[in-house]
Structure 1
Amino acid sequence: MKTQSHTAPGSRKSFLKKALMAGSGLTFGSALSGSLSTLKASESGKPDSVRGGKNGCWAPTTCNGCASWCSLEVYIQNGRATKIRGNNASKVNEGKACPRSHMGIQELYDPDRLKQPMKRTNPEKKRGVDPGFVPISWDEAIDEITDRILELREKDETHKYMMVQGRNSGLHPIIYDRMTRIIGSPNRINSDGLCQEAGKLSHWYQCGFWGFPQWDLKHTRYIICWGTDPVSSTRQVSHHNSSWGKMIARAKVAVVDPRLSATAAKADEWMPIKPGEDGAVAGAIAHVILTRGLWSKEFVGDFKDGENRFKIGQTVDEELFDEKLTKGVIKWWNLELKDRTPEWAAERAGIPAEQIERVAIDFGRAGSQAISMVGRGPVAQPRGSYNALAGNALVGLVGAVGTEGGNMSGNPFFNEPLPGPDDYLDQTAKNGLGHPTIDQRGRLDLPAIFQNQAGTGMVSNKAADGVIDKDPNEIKVAISYYGNFAFSAPGARRWEKALGSIPFYVDINTHPSEVSWFADIVLPAANGMFEKNAPVVRHGNRHRHVTLHRRVVDRLWNVKSDETEVPWMIAEKLAEKGFPNLLDHYKTYRDPETGAEPQNGEELELFATKHITQNYWNPDRHRGGDKFESWESFYNTGVWNSDPYVLKRRWGNMPTESGKFEFYSEPLKRAITQHAEKHGLTTDQVMESANYVARGEQAFIPHYEPPVIIDEGNNDGLILVDHKSRLNREGRSANSPWYYEFKDVDPGDVANQDVAKINPKDARRLGISEGDDIVMSFKENSITCKARLWEGVRPGTVAKSYGQGHWAFGRRASLEFGKKARGGNNNEIIPAEYDRLTGTSAYYATVRVRVSKA
């Protein structure tokens, strides 16, 4: 097999020239030479229409570069996208767009994209071994896929089918849920279960919503950012970029993070914490707020005689406190906070006690105009649920719950659910759905709580172990789409082994990624930002918007929409072969305007989008927010906005069991107790099995859990702080030249390099100099990158951005396509560990790695 060595990226001007040539269809075949030759271009992808004309026009769509889902406009000339801007019609991102959105055009016109279906000819599935992909037609690909599905059904083995979902839209139930259930499998695995659920748990048990908050930056007086960099990599990035400068002119910001992030660089307080000790600092801040009498009397309540009895080390009689709109503040004090002084926290967190106290006082004085922004840092850890509970509890103490300048839940929205599949489940499907899931959720050490029910959450990364060990069963057929777990999940090489062991695996993707390398069939996906129709939902800036992906450009290649066109073709072929249930179900997705049944995948996509959004564009069904007169009017605008958030609307009417903000959670207690009873054990035994230190009632309140740092018994190593770049389109931007050219926009990083940022004190001890090639390793896995000596990282830690280290994805992403990575993928040295209450993967500050010169 021929190989192609990496050459340094050319100038931006030369790249744009080549990109424009590719966009005009002039030089596709030669663009994928050498090791990419089996992924060569199709001859049949010529445009069938021209949009925009030579003078061009702006068309609305939605960015899919991260979970912010910003509403955008794309400038279209002769059917091609040439420019991006924010959509002024959105009240969430208000016409603003971050760097990720602009990079979307390079992703769209990347000459290394998958261009037509491919079939594997080499049965050996291994990194570095050429799969021998050869082009096939869509009909041939779908024919083979449906044969494998029907074989499972004939053998009553539908539970041996698995669906893996990556980035998705509001149409994801069509392929992810409806198709999987009608086939008859319980094995639906998605990317949300990798990194999001622990943060959601805190909002559910304290505030009554399972999701993420929004924050009123325009009116806040104080923000604590816990392991998050809002201007770079959290939700609502475009809004944060446009609002942060004005906000810091009148409000104070404290950043709790071992790394000097872009946000920390402009903050009033940088608190370079020892990794994982966020819960200690949050507890100490709560302690100061209570002992100093800074809690909200209006929201929390007060002692009946007005005397503050919150004294260091002293318990309080609950009868002496008149609690108003919260539940359990005295229990929280007695069980946890009475001893959590700033000095106690300083000893653990490695930051000054006086700084902790100062931040606590300023936060408390800001009152209801304070924000506690709990990010991925403290949450994506082995005990992250309790860090999340501790950080989020602070807004309850100061009454900053749904207030001007505080934390808020999402605004109401009115999506119409897609038709359900129950009428199309035959006995074979029902039998399959009765089997346990491949991710092993609900076992003793994996409570995997979703809302109030243990065992119903998702442990997505654990699915790799289930596949490898064939536990609870073998997986014989799997389909994944728009994801790359062999790159994006901790313990990434486990996914290589898992996918390589599946007898028949299909990957639907835009690029030839690491997971594609192990596929038997590779299907080229439409780019969600430019080449498909679908709704998505996000909130921010005190509004909710429902914004549309739109098919705004001509498809250059023979690609299909992953969530609609591909499952429709599968449904048609299954019907031809005697199993019509899936197609019959899809035909119930009628056009709300005409009542017509879909006749193909494009109509399924359009009708489903209209169905979900009909309460926004149909004036007869209007329920709030923007009002449109027709589907056409909504489609041409591209976004619906909710009414503004109603301040304090949940005060006294919180959607929790008590109707209050809950510091002590009876529902959490029941969920853990239910899991214990299922296994015939006590709640303390469950907590021990799931690797938490809490015992008794402490498990039901925010409390300090010592961090879990996995090492090899060698304290000379450095704790890896994984962080996200403002240029990451969720790992999909690594084949874009701009990703490398502008990488130094992230503090401490270097253009055209992949660097690990090391404090000079540690570098001297390890004998490492600036620019050295270094190896970072844990057990048998290692990655290579460059050393960057930088005082913006806490001693004892090494900070490295996620995003580089692809060995497949295109010629720029790798040094040698299919064999040798460019830079290092953090997830190859981060072991697979979990916040076991929720199943969230532990990415952050979880492992102590060995660092040495290469």
Structure 2
Amino acid sequence: MSINRRDFLKTTAGSAAVASTLSIFPEVVEAKIGELAYEGEAGKWMSSTCQGCTSWCAIQGLVVDGKVVKIRGNPNSPSGGRICPRPHLALQQVYDPDRVKTPLKRTNPKKGKGVDPKFVPISWDEAINTIADKIMELINAGETHKYLLMRGRYTYMNEIMYNTFPKLIGSPNNISHSAICAEAEKFGRYYTEGYWDYADADLDNCKYLLAWGWDGIASNRQTPWFMNQLGYMKDKARITVIDPRLSATASKADRWLPIIPGMDGALQMAIAHVILSEGRWNKTFVGNFTDKINYFIPEKEVPSELEVEGKVIPVVFEENHTHGVVAWWNLELKDRTPEWAEKLTGISAKEIKEVAREFAAAGSRAISWVSPGASMQVRGAYSSFGGHALNGLVGSVDAEGGILQGSSAPSAKMPDYKPYLNEQLEKALKQKKIDQRGTKGFPALNKKSGGGVVTSRVAQAMMDKDPYDIKVAIGYWNNFVFSINGSNVWEKAMEQLPFFAHVTTNIAEMSMYADIVLPAKMHLFERYGFVKNKQNMYGYMSIHQPLIKPYGEAKTDETEVPFLLAQALAKKGFDGPLRYFQDNFKDIETGKTPETSEEFDLNVVKFLSKPVWDGSSNDKGDTINSWNELLEKGVWKTKKYKPGKKIDNFKTETKKFEFYSETLKKVMIEHAEKNKITVDEAFEAANYTCRGELGFVPHYEEVVRHGDEATYPFIFSEHRSRLNREGRSQNCSWYYEIKDVDPGDVANKDVTKINPLDGKKLGLKDGDKIKISSPQGSLESEVKLWEGTRPGVVIKCYGQGHWAYGRVGSEVFGAKPRGGNNNAILFHDYERLSGANPRHGGLSRVKIEKI
């Protein structure tokens, strides 16, 4: 897999030539992309950022003669310069010959899966003017709220395209992908400690890690740092992984609990029951009964008072830094014994007790890490709530060796857009959002009713025209047709959308419904931008900058495209967006007004990142005193976080860590009153079974599965690959060649993993072709008999199954997928309290047929 420099340059030049002549529907094309490597390291290392997952790691690329040929971690990064396989795959992405080279226009008015759009190349002027004309039609008709912006992954430059531009043209419909990513995971942290974000952790001092569906070696949340730390943690800590699949992390753990999918909440309640009933909670953090007697007795409520020798004596639990532990026991935990949980989870009562004792013994140095696997379920908000509540029981919240909120890097605030609005636009912004957030059936409780987003609801709302119809839409860095449960629902929604423009690096399933396709610069190598994140107890800002010239006529989706649209709109008589951009984003050094999209792009990134490069934040972290210094170093990080500052200062109603969430109670009451229903009716509308006070404590909710067991005898479960670059690496040959780095998977194939016991019953052997069907749909796959799969569960990696994603990612582009898309069989449903997409928890039952 190495070639010399001359051959490398010949390969990439040839790839560019192929791309310029490639038809949209090639009949026969060799399924291979030029392999990239470089013998030697002559050249310049330049800093940028990988966004292959939400770790958002700072990287450096080796640039030789205008080509990036090698990737390494940035030594200034909080991860210590470590990276995972994902940024290496980006080399094949940026030099992918199937990238969109020039704007394209649809010439076939018919839209549908497998329908050739008959795209033809057009100029940027024609493309931008076509979109601007559609926006002007909405402005002139007083229907600007019928414009929709759909954002996928993003940099912090999204403040322009996603947040501000829709408002400047009078639309409330800036819809983020966030709900298909991890909103339910954040739910538990917010309604216990008032923190809606991803967590950080003190892995250096951790003594016990309880990982709920989290495969830290492979996917999301500090992946390179955890990969590095795992070996050290093995020497001083115990790791327990709860997952129906033997993941990469589970294979290295001290204990693997192959839970029945969706039963995380039951296991959490049983662990909490053991900790309290056996008196193992952290009494310094939580508190204790004033008489030092443990009244957490199985199957009994903690009494408010006792009669002793004719005297009535109050039973008092004096809490220190928490709120509501007795209420939690009385409402839920008293009956949640390990024996009860064993029947639901498939984990023995003996092992549940052992895990609970181990976890509690580590005290404030124990971490219960809740991932999307445990929380992105139809009723997963309470699995998130329960998993994080365990940290409260052992006092590991904001503690050394525990789970942390962490620090954040500073950035500039966006200038106020309101002075650029007229009365018509202000009125339009008050229209309801298309995703129906905050309505009776979709609370989306991100800090308030309707504060979140219900991304997957957009498709059905568009088809129902509820609360109105969408006429013009733009999407960027997204592929919802492929990436959301019930992909056929999105296919139908996009078929009936009157006008859609897609800004993308590659033609993908969503592009096939577009009227205009705009070529985007690739985030890692070709554009400016920055992101903010946390890792290893540091908050940081990591920069994007062009390492190489952009492919073809590509432009930056988040800045250049809206600026070009603003210029076109101004020429058509609507100059608000252009005035806003030019008034507020002049060159910081010269004061020059931006006249081109490239000038605007650079001005914006310098403006928004200024607090970390102008020297004003040097006392808070790294020392950087110029823009060029930031580009060179690539990353600015805070001083190391010091635990303990949040204790008794949580942003909850009580300022304490809430087992009984007064914060959730307040928000649910407000949501119910807004919708003129009772709180119990609100829980019912959100598809939760809890009523009354039970809704305000962590509790077990019966799992939701679609499909009856008699017809669909198996539970379907999916996982992420350590090679998935946000689902965009499937047109890379390297992805397939090394796919067996994921435990149980096979190189160059898309397999479904079945326990050998189940395989024997079905008469299946390795390599057999099968059809997997659910009430939602079906896909075809190959069998891999593997002991790392829990019996009764079939497991498949997410990512393959593209019917439109290039010569490698699709078997026949536009017609036949390579592998199967899990979203074809995952039921189109919702986790309504957070708005999240429930892709885990055994949502769909399936049947398997040999073909």
Tell me the equivalent position of 1:427. Answer: 423
Please state if 1:167 is matched with 2:153: yes
Distance (whole Å) between structure 1 residues aligned to residue 547 and residue 725 of structure 2: 20
Please state if 1:714 is matched with 2:715: no
Tell me the equivalent position of 1:513. Answer: 508
Tell me the equivalent position of 2:828. Answer: 832
Deviation of the 1:568 alpha carbon: 0.6
* Residue identity in the other structure for 2:765: S
Tell me the equivalent position of 2:37. Answer: none
Pairwise mapping of residues 450-461 of structure 1 onto structure 2 (< 5 A)?
Answer: 450-451=446-447, 453-461=448-456
Change (3 A) 1:74 1:794: same
TM-score using structure 2 length: 0.95
Deviation of the 1:679 alpha carbon: 2.7
* Residue identity in the other structure for 1:830: L
Distance (whole Å) between structure 2 residues aligned to residue 742 and residue 545 of structure 1: 31
Pairing partner for 1:105 from 77, 88, 91: 91
Please identify, of 418-427 and 264-273, the stretch whose mean Cα deviation from structure 2 is larger. 418-427
Answer yes or no: is the 8 Å Cα contact 1:284–1:345 preserved in 2: yes
TM-score using structure 1 length: 0.95
Describe the SS at the equivalent of 1:253: strand
Deviation of the 1:667 alpha carbon: 1.9
Tell me the equivalent position of 2:18. Answer: 29
Describe the SS at the equivalent of 2:474: strand
Please state if 1:86 is matched with 2:88: no
Describe the SS at the equivalent of 2:205: coil
Answer yes or no: is the 8 Å Cα contact 1:161–1:475 preserved in 2: yes
Please identify, of 806-815 and 290-299, the stretch whose mean Cα deviation from structure 2 is larger. 290-299
Tell me the equivalent position of 2:184. Answer: 198
Change (3 A) 1:354 1:230: same
Distance (whole Å) between structure 2 residues aligned to residue 38 and residue 550 of structure 1: 37
Answer yes or no: is the 8 Å Cα contact 2:706–2:775 preserved in 1: no
Please state if 1:186 is matched with 2:183: no
Deviation of the 1:521 alpha carbon: 0.3
Answer yes or no: is the 8 Å Cα contact 2:18–2:97 preserved in 1: no
Please state if 1:656 is matched with 2:652: yes
Tell me the equivalent position of 1:853. Answer: 850
Pairing partner for 1:500 from 488, 491, 495: 495
Deviation of the 1:575 alpha carbon: 0.7
Distance (whole Å) between structure 2 residues aligned to residue 687 and residue 298 of structure 1: 35
Tell me the equivalent position of 2:34. Answer: none
Change (3 A) 1:325 1:427: same
Distance (whole Å) between structure 1 residues aligned to residue 117 and residue 410 of structure 2: 46
Tell me the equivalent position of 1:633. Answer: 629
Distance (whole Å) between structure 1 residues aligned to residue 265 and residue 504 of structure 2: 39
Deviation of the 1:597 alpha carbon: 2.8
Distance (whole Å) between structure 1 residues aligned to residue 126 and residue 167 of structure 2: 24
Change (3 A) 1:25 1:710: same
Distance (whole Å) between structure 1 residues aligned to residue 776 and residue 270 of structure 2: 39
Distance (whole Å) between structure 1 residues aligned to residue 603 and residue 442 of structure 2: 40
| RMSD across aligned positions (CA) | 1.9
Pairing partner for 2:771 from 757, 768, 775: 775
Deviation of the 1:474 alpha carbon: 1.2
Tell me the equivalent position of 1:44. Answer: none
Pairwise mapping of residues 498-647 of structure 1 onto structure 2 (< 5 A)?
Answer: 498-587=493-582, 588-620=584-616, 622=618, 624-647=620-643
Distance (whole Å) between structure 1 residues aligned to residue 817 and residue 849 of structure 2: 19
Deviation of the 1:32 alpha carbon: 5.4
Change (3 A) 1:15 1:853: farther
Distance (whole Å) between structure 1 residues aligned to residue 15 and residue 445 of structure 2: 53
Answer yes or no: is the 8 Å Cα contact 1:419–1:589 preserved in 2: no
Answer yes or no: is the 8 Å Cα contact 2:24–2:118 preserved in 1: no
1:164-223 residue CA offsets vs partner (Å, 9 max, x unmatched): 001100010101111111111111111112231111111111112110111221111100
1:696-733 residue CA offsets vs partner (Å, 9 max, x unmatched): 11101111111111114635431111110000001100
Deviation of the 1:609 alpha carbon: 1.5
Please state if 1:355 is matched with 2:362: no
Distance (whole Å) between structure 2 residues aligned to residue 686 and residue 619 of structure 1: 50
Tell me the equivalent position of 1:263. Answer: 249
Change (3 A) 1:595 1:14: closer
Deviation of the 1:26 alpha carbon: 6.5
1:810-835 residue CA offsets vs partner (Å, 9 max, x unmatched): 00101100000000000111111111
Deviation of the 1:523 alpha carbon: 0.3
Answer yes or no: is the 8 Å Cα contact 2:48–2:544 preserved in 1: yes
Describe the SS at the equivalent of 1:645: coil
Tell me the equivalent position of 1:291. Answer: 277
Describe the SS at the equivalent of 2:215: coil
Change (3 A) 1:623 1:181: farther
Pairing partner for 1:277 from 248, 260, 263: 263
Pairwise mapping of residues 85-234 of structure 1 onto structure 2 (< 5 A)?
Answer: 85-91=72-78, 93-234=79-220
Tell me the equivalent position of 1:241. Answer: 227
Deviation of the 1:385 alpha carbon: 0.5
Please state if 1:409 is matched with 2:405: yes
* Residue identity in the other structure for 2:224: S
Answer yes or no: is the 8 Å Cα contact 2:69–2:91 preserved in 1: yes
Tell me the equivalent position of 1:393. Answer: 389
Deviation of the 1:117 alpha carbon: 0.3
Distance (whole Å) between structure 2 residues aligned to residue 677 and residue 577 of structure 1: 44
* Residue identity in the other structure for 1:55: A
Pairwise mapping of residues 687-836 of structure 1 onto structure 2 (< 5 A)?
Answer: 687-712=683-708, 714=710, 716-779=712-775, 781-836=777-832
* Residue identity in the other structure for 2:471: K
Distance (whole Å) between structure 2 residues aligned to residue 39 and residue 181 of structure 1: 45
Deviation of the 1:561 alpha carbon: 0.3
Tell me the equivalent position of 2:461. Answer: 466
Answer yes or no: is the 8 Å Cα contact 1:193–1:458 preserved in 2: yes
1:142-170 residue CA offsets vs partner (Å, 9 max, x unmatched): 01110000001100111111000011000
1:582-611 residue CA offsets vs partner (Å, 9 max, x unmatched): 011111123334433322222222222122
Distance (whole Å) between structure 2 residues aligned to residue 73 and residue 746 of structure 1: 26
Deviation of the 1:488 alpha carbon: 0.6
* Residue identity in the other structure for 1:602: E
Answer yes or no: is the 8 Å Cα contact 1:32–1:111 preserved in 2: no
Tell me the equivalent position of 1:323. Answer: 319
Gaps of at least 5 residues in structure 2 are 30-39, 305-314
Answer yes or no: is the 8 Å Cα contact 2:501–2:517 preserved in 1: yes
1:10-52 residue CA offsets vs partner (Å, 9 max, x unmatched): xx45899987434235652377545446999xxxxxxxxxxxx
Change (3 A) 1:260 1:520: same
Distance (whole Å) between structure 2 residues aligned to residue 16 and residue 666 of structure 1: 64
